[in-house]
Amino acid sequence: MALLEVKKLGISFGGLRAVDEFSISIEKGELYGLIGPNGAGKTTIFNLLTGVYKPTDGTITLDGVNLTGKSTIEINKAGIARTFQNIRLFSNLSVIDNVKAGLSNNYRYSAATGIFRLPKYFKVEKEMNEKAMELLKVFDLDKEAELPASGLPYGKQRKLEIARALATEPKLLLLDEPAAGMNPNETAELMNTIRQVRDDFDMTVLLIEHDMSLVSGICERLSVLNFGQLLRQGKTAEVLSDPEVITAYLGE
């Protein structure tokens, strides 16, 4: 059974059909790419998968559980986490506190425990700090743990957003244009990071990306979207050599 099964997913905004009968099947542990021209509907699909939008039709199933129409919080708890095209960190919080915000799904104490600093408060905070530092070390951010997130260079802010998403302990990680704004060296480093995330966390990754060097370098399979519809699907090398896909990208 595939980890993610999406069947005939669709959404309309007024009279506009933004996504139409989109289907995808992703196996556990895959690095899967979703590509297409600007305005093709890629981020809309991410918004549907994470409960930001409710689908007009179709189904979304994760690890055998139907998530269609569930709230963002319910979907995150079920095992889907994401990053965003425009980085969304808690800029005024420290690097470690951003990761601890993700951990809060799994580490909790009552308001009274927090206010009166009962023993459980210190126990949970210690566990969260240790777990957060483990994640930060994976992304080589442990030395910046106490810095404000806004003080990190752009590439490290991208890494921090991925670390915070992983802190929720997802089964499926959605990355929305993780290489946007990066230089070639940063992109190459990001490729290694994504592979490490897959291998070290036994993670399944679905990413939206325009950088074809990254897509061809790490994605095992691709789906190509154009005008809200699935244009092509298959192994990366075969998809990227398809003349119809090339035409869609070049607009010819």
Residue 194 lies inside a defined structural domain of this protein: no
Lowest mean pLDDT among 111-120, 138-147, 212-221: 111-120
177 and 134 together in one domain: no
The CATH number that applies at residue 37 is 3.40.50.300
| Range(s) of the domain holding residue 145 | 89-169
Residues 156 and 135 in one domain: yes
* Residues 3 and 62 reside in one and the same domain: yes
Same domain, 51 and 40: yes
Domain boundary among 169, 196, 214: 169
Query: Residue 191 domain-assigned?
Result: no
Q: What is the pTM of this model?
A: 0.92
The predicted model gives 172-191 an average pLDDT of 92
Q: pLDDT at residue 109 above 80?
A: no
Instruction: Say yes or no: 74 and 105 in one domain.
Output: no
Using pLDDT thresholds of 50, 70 and 90, give the confidence band for residue 181: confident
Residues 96 and 140 in one domain: yes
What is the DSSP code string of the chain?
Answer: --SEEEEEEEEEETTEEEEEEEEEEE-TT-EEEEE-STTSSHHHHHHHHTTSS--SEEEEEETTEE-TT--HHHHHHHTEEE--SS----TTSBHHHHHHHHHTTT----HHHHHTT-HHHHHHHHHHHHHHHHHHHHTT-GGGTTSBGGGS-HHHHHHHHHHHHHTT--SEEEEESTTTT--HHHHHHHHHHHHHHHHHHT-EEEEE-S-HHHHHHH-SEEEEEETTEEEEEEEHHHHHT-HHHHHHHHT-
pLDDT of residue 134: 94
Same domain, 44 and 67: yes
Q: Does a structural domain hold residue 193?
A: no
Percent of the chain predicted with pLDDT > 90: 75
- Residue 84 counted as domain residue: no
Q: So what's the pLDDT on residue 107?
A: 66
For CA atoms 171, 208, 219, 8, give the dihedral sign: positive
Mean of all residue pLDDT scores within the chain: 91
Tell me: do 181 and 164 sit in the same domain: no
Q: Are residues 119 and 72 in the same domain?
A: no
Same domain, 162 and 220: no
Pair (177, 215) in one structural domain: yes
Same domain assignment for residues 10 and 70: yes
Specify burial of residue 35 (Cβ count, 10 A radius: 0-12, 13-18, 19+): buried
152 has pLDDT over 60:
yes
Total domain count for the chain?
2
Better-scored residue on pLDDT, 109 or 240 = 240
Asked whether residue 117 carries a pLDDT value surpassing 70, the answer given is no
Q: How far is CA 223 from CA 50, 84, 204, in A?
A: 18, 19, 15
**Structural domain includes residue 214:** yes
Q: So what's the pLDDT on residue 124?
A: 76
Determine, yes or no, domain membership for 198: no
Is pLDDT above 60 for 251?
no
Q: Looking at the domain assignment, is residue 196 inside a domain?
A: no
33 falls within a domain: yes
Residue 252: pLDDT band with limits 50, 70, 90? very low
pLDDT tier at 140, thresholds 50, 70, 90: very high
